[in-house]
């Protein structure tokens, strides 16, 4: 498949679930878009830089396997065809999850059948883009069931944070399509998911969840959630055990700074005072 929008490029990947090969994973070229972000850190693609072609990457971020409809916006959830690695990482090498996923293909096909034309390319309609996030969330849910089958102490729910991000990106798209009520409902679902998985998260995933939970608490004006998130981020590294230069440290510094600023002017972050999920001034 060739690229139509010159601000995109393709990485060929193979599906972890069914083995489908040569799936085009669409990525955005660097230094092509002027971006902003909403209060949750979800990117908005405002306009193209000079000489570049505009692309709302949120429309094509999620790659969908055309055979089993596994979907993800992350290349590491697929097998890079330039990689020589043959062993499948957890949890894709678990036969039960693969068997169940393949057995449920007809259910997902029913969901997407009316929107198949163009669904796997770069020119998705708004409805197709929203549907791609539904498939990504379903994919995350399937993987999370592997974790739920483990003992409580062994569970790793990092995939749940990814799922919450998909929900919030979809909510951002809905807000842009003037579907504020649906966007708010989805944002509440993201908050519920993060709250449920929070005890099982570690390191940067825990920090990301703490930040998102706090910002959602500000948006929906839930003081208890806001206070808990603020205390969590402030006290996270009170023993100075987070190593400099790690993803955990980078996420902590960024999240703590942003949430502290938001907390200090928290009334301004409630949905009554925002334009969609955006502040009317730089955040």
Residue 91: cis peptide before it, omega within 30 degrees of 0: yes
Instruction: Answer whether residue 3 shows pLDDT above 80.
Output: no
Region 235-247: mean pLDDT is 85
Region 185-210: mean pLDDT is 94
Q: What is the pLDDT of residue 233?
A: 94
Instruction: Answer whether residue 282 shows pLDDT above 60.
Output: no
Model confidence pLDDT, tens digit, residues 86-121:
566 667 777 788 989 999 999 999 999 999 999 998
- List, in order, residues 6 or more apart from 42 with CB less than 8 Å away: 58, 165, 168, 169, 172, 277
Position 281 confidence tier, pLDDT thresholds 50, 70, 90: low
Map out the domains of the chain as residue ranges: 1-78+91-173, 202-283
Model confidence pLDDT, tens digit, residues 209-229:
999 999 999 999 999 999 999
Instruction: Answer whether residue 2 shows pLDDT above 70.
Output: no
Position 283 confidence tier, pLDDT thresholds 50, 70, 90: very low
What is d(CA 143, CA 148) in angstroms, rounded to the nearest whole number? 9
For 221, phi then psi, to 5°, come to 55, 60
Model confidence pLDDT, tens digit, residues 60-82:
999 999 999 999 999 989 988 87
pTM: 0.92
């Amino acid at each position: 498949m060739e690229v139509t929008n010159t601000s995109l490029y393709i990485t060929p990947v193979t599906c972890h679930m069914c083995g489908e090969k040569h799936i085009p994973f669409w990525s955005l070229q660097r230094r092509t878009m002027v971006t902003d972000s909403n209060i949750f850190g979800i990117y908005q693609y405002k306009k193209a830089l000079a000489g570049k072609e505009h692309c709302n990457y949120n429309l094509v971020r999620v790659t969908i396997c055309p055979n089993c409809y596994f979907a993800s916006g992350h290349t590491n959830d697929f097998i890079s065809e330039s990689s020589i690695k043959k062993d499948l990482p957890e949890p894709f090498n678990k036969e039960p999850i693969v068997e169940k996923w393949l057995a449920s293909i007809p259910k997902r096909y029913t969901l997407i059948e009316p929107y198949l034309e163009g669904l796997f390319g770069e020119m998705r309609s708004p409805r197709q883009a929203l549907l791609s996030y539904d498939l990504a969330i379903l994919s995350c849910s399937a993987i999370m069931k592997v974790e739920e089958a483990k003992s409580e102490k062994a569970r790793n729910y990092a995939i749940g944070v990814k799922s919450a991000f998909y929900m919030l990106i979809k909510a951002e798209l809905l807000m842009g399509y003037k579907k504020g009520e649906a966007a708010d409902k989805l944002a509440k679902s993201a908050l519920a998911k993060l709250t449920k998985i929070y005890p099982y998260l570690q390191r940067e995933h825990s920090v990301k969840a703490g930040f998102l939970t706090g910002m959602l608490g500000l948006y929906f004006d839930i003081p208890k959630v806001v206070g808990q998130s603020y205390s969590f981020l402030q006290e996270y590294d009170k023993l100075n055990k987070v190593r400099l230069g790690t993803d955990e440290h980078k996420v902590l510094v960024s999240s703590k700074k942003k949430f502290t600023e938001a907390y200090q002017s928290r009334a301004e972050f409630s949905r009554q005072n925002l334009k969609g999920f955006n502040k009317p001034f730089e955040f």
